[in-house]
Amino acid sequence: MKKKLTAFSVFLLTALLFTSVAFAASGRNGRYQDKLFQYSTINAIMQGQYDGEMTLQELNTHGNMGLGTLNGLDGELIQLDNKFYQVSSNGQVKELDGKMKTPFAVTTKFDAKKKVTLSNVKDFQDFSEKLKANFDNKNHFYAIKIHGKIDYIKNRSVPKQTRPYPPFTEVTPHQTVFEDHDVEGTIIGFYTPNYASTIQVPGFHMHFLSDDRTKGGHILDVKFDSAAVEIQQLSEFDLVLPDTEDFANADLTKTTIKDIEEAENDK
């Protein structure tokens, strides 16, 4: 009887161990890793919440590809392959260390499940429509990555702000715009369905970084003949809110979708 009980115990332990390993593998390779991580909200940025507590080093633990800005709204932030780059308002591109802090950022552990080719992209609107045609679920978030030769790209960056911080709609009229032709680089970004517009930029929010690390920014317009696109559908969303006095006292109900679209897109 004792031997039978021992054998059964070993069998049960083995079965439980196998089940645990299988579940862990599912978590690594399945949808549980298709997660969007975000620090703060777009409404907070729109209302002038330009100082955050999260370091880039901490952000890096949540993903390897992302975008955002830096404290003081100091330019555009690009995260690519676990490295961070700042595109300042004078067009300078600089790699950053992990000590820098962000008031707003979005990242994911990029693992594309779908690859398509987009052809004859005429402008940003055409780009958006052709990307959306490849989405399987219009109410999920998506991460997008494109590398190749871009025929034309129009980027922007915003100048660093000083307190008292103005709302974002008063900053963008002073943005610097950069236009480049025939440039090799990477477009990264995210798609957010409209129902989440108080949290993230609705539609497509895209940044660019050239291969030689001399050009980049927030994309306003883009044109290319053909490019391979990697798409990751994101079914989970983690949001961390700032624990700052500014955030605690802000009225985040004032911002409209129209405000965000005008501030984020080409006018």
Helix (H, G, I), strand (E, B) or coil at 201: coil
Would the pLDDT of 78 be above 90? yes
Is residue 28 situated within a structural domain?
A: no
Q: What is the DSSP letter of 66?
A: E
Tokens 């004078």 belong to which residue? 90
- Model pLDDT, residue 267: 58
Helix (H, G, I), strand (E, B) or coil at 158: coil
Q: How confident is the model at residue 266 (pLDDT cuts 50, 70, 90)?
A: confident
Containing structural domain, residue 136: 34-264
Is residue 251 situated within a structural domain?
A: yes
Would the pLDDT of 90 be above 60? yes
Would the pLDDT of 108 be above 80? yes
Q: What value does the mean pLDDT take over residues 180-196? A: 97
- Model pLDDT, residue 3: 45
Task: Quote the CA–CA distance of 19 and 67 in Å, as a whole number.
Answer: 37
100: its two tokens: 């820098």
- Model pLDDT, residue 33: 76
Helix (H, G, I), strand (E, B) or coil at 160: coil
pTM of the model: 0.88
| CA 97 from centroid of its chain's CA atoms | 19
Task: Quote the CA–CA distance of 7 and 17 in Å, as a whole number.
Answer: 15
Would the pLDDT of 1 be above 50? no
Give the CATH number, domain containing residue 199: 3.30.1330.80
Is residue 20 situated within a structural domain?
A: no
Q: What is the DSSP letter of 51?
A: -
- Model pLDDT, residue 92: 98
Percent of the chain with pLDDT over 90: 84
Beta-carbon contacts of 62 under 8 Å, excluding residues fewer than 6 positions away, are 37, 107, 109, 238
Question: Among residues 110, 266, 138, which one has the least CA distance to residue 194?
Answer: 138
Number of structural domains found in the chain: 1
Task: Quote the CA–CA distance of 267 and 148 in Å, as a whole number.
Answer: 26
Is residue 24 situated within a structural domain?
A: no
Q: Which amino acid, 51?
A: D
Per residue in 202-256, pLDDT (tens digit) is: 999 999 999 999 999 999 999 999 999 999 999 999 999 999 999 999 999 988 8
Is residue 19 situated within a structural domain?
A: no
Q: How confident is the model at residue 189 (pLDDT cuts 50, 70, 90)?
A: very high
Is residue 110 situated within a structural domain?
A: yes
Q: Are 230 and 144 in contact (CB under 8 A)?
A: yes
Would the pLDDT of 265 be above 80? yes
Residue 76 has, within 13 A of its CA and on its CB side, a CA count of: 32
- Model pLDDT, residue 117: 97
- Model pLDDT, residue 9: 43
Is residue 21 situated within a structural domain?
A: no
48: its two tokens: 């002038």
Residue bearing the bigger pLDDT, 10 or 113:
113
Would the pLDDT of 120 be above 80? yes
Tokens 């050009």 belong to which residue? 215
| CA 173 from centroid of its chain's CA atoms | 23
Of 15-29, 127-141, 162-176, the poorest mean pLDDT is in 15-29
Is residue 132 situated within a structural domain?
A: yes
Percent of the chain with pLDDT over 70: 88
Per residue in 6-44, pLDDT (tens digit) is: 444 434 333 333 333 333 334 444 445 799 999 999 999
Q: What is the DSSP letter of 163?
A: S
